[in-house]
Structure 1
């Protein structure tokens, strides 16, 4: 009985010139996985369903991704980016405007990912380390930016590090709540209102 890799190679030879390139096939596999994982979840999605939606033999999926978890890891690594840029912080922080600083951060969440990938991140965070690590980086980056913005926006803001850290972590929690619970339930918390509460508490 042929191995999945042998099956994939045989299929590639027989279809050469009639199907998209290997890179296109890999992209189609990831596209299909993104759609299915976002819709039904990683655990509920069999590899055969990914292959079917991608329009490739199941063996070709194993050629690129020896384990199903490798598909999820590749999606997270390649299709989600936590933006860590010092230059953006300057635009978010304005002296004397703590509310505006936090509101701008809320509108410019440092995550580059499709709506489907955002659902995958929050859906799979409890069970897969690679996803949890990406969310941890996002949380840390939001806290860092919020603290930086508050330090510049509040008079004497650098003097009470513990309060600033708590305020920044609270705002990060609200933004991540928006990204996760709101997508699932539609419940919405106004980040601008939370920004006002935090700024008022810090004065």
Structure 2
């Protein structure tokens, strides 16, 4: 990926998180990225392409799944799922996802897909760490969905209320509940 393209996406992430998609012009993106405005359109023919690319590329979950390393450690397995989530390192991307999901279908679809990916990863990690619990699919699914919800929504809770929920503490809690 070119340095200019990365700077454009970095600028868009900063500005969309701060002022929203609708409140951000391509001229402002170019200014913050320190590139000519025409270069923004070279990489992204429409402003919507900037948003879609930003969301798709910066919310991709690394799926380097290694169940053998998670044996008998469900909390550790969930922590490794959390470590794969790029949003954990980017509260701005969370803000963008939740703000823009209301008005942009592509963002809403990505948020739904991200939730499904996280639930699936968490469920697979728990199944590998707790082989005896595989028959209890309902509890595993609830635990996986709970963990995915915490991973996705805890930054929004903090942004709105100042309250923090530690995903590692939730991993420990769910692990004890399932063991």
- Please report the TM-score for the alignment, with normalisation by the length of structure 2: 0.77
Match of 1:5 in 2: none
2:71 aligned residue (91, 94, 115): 94
Identify if the C-alpha distance between structure 1 residues 77 and 190 changes in structure 2 by more than 3 Å, giving closer, same or farther: closer
With 68-77 and 188-197 compared, the bigger mean Cα shift is at 188-197
Match of 1:147 in 2: 123
CA contact (8 A) 1:147 1:164 kept: yes
Match of 1:109 in 2: 84
Match of 1:75 in 2: 54
Deviations 1:106-125, CA, capped at 9 Å, x for gaps:
3x133378624344233323
Distance (whole Å) between structure 2 residues aligned to residue 26 and residue 76 of structure 1: 14
Distance (whole Å) between structure 2 residues aligned to residue 104 and residue 57 of structure 1: 40
Equivalent residue pairs, number: 177
- Corresponding position: 1:167 with 2:146: no
3-state DSSP class of the match of 1:140?
helix
| Unaligned residue ranges in structure 2 (runs of 5+) | none
With 69-78 and 56-65 compared, the bigger mean Cα shift is at 56-65
Counterpart mapping for 1:31-42 below 5 A: 31-42=10-21
3-state DSSP class of the match of 1:82?
coil
Distance (whole Å) between structure 2 residues aligned to residue 28 and residue 100 of structure 1: 35
Identify if the C-alpha distance between structure 1 residues 165 and 137 changes in structure 2 by more than 3 Å, giving closer, same or farther: same
Shift of 1:199: 3.1
Identify if the C-alpha distance between structure 1 residues 86 and 46 changes in structure 2 by more than 3 Å, giving closer, same or farther: same
- Corresponding position: 1:157 with 2:136: no
Runs of 4+ in 1 over 6 A off after TM superposition: none
Shift of 1:149: 2.5
2:9 aligned residue (26, 30, 35): 30
3-state DSSP class of the match of 1:81?
coil
Distance (whole Å) between structure 1 residues aligned to residue 29 and residue 20 of structure 2: 12
3-state DSSP class of the match of 1:34?
helix
Match of 1:52 in 2: 31
Structure 1 or 2, whichever has the larger Rg, is 1
Identify if the C-alpha distance between structure 1 residues 31 and 158 changes in structure 2 by more than 3 Å, giving closer, same or farther: closer
Distance (whole Å) between structure 1 residues aligned to residue 84 and residue 98 of structure 2: 15
Q: What's the Cα RMSD here?
A: 2.9
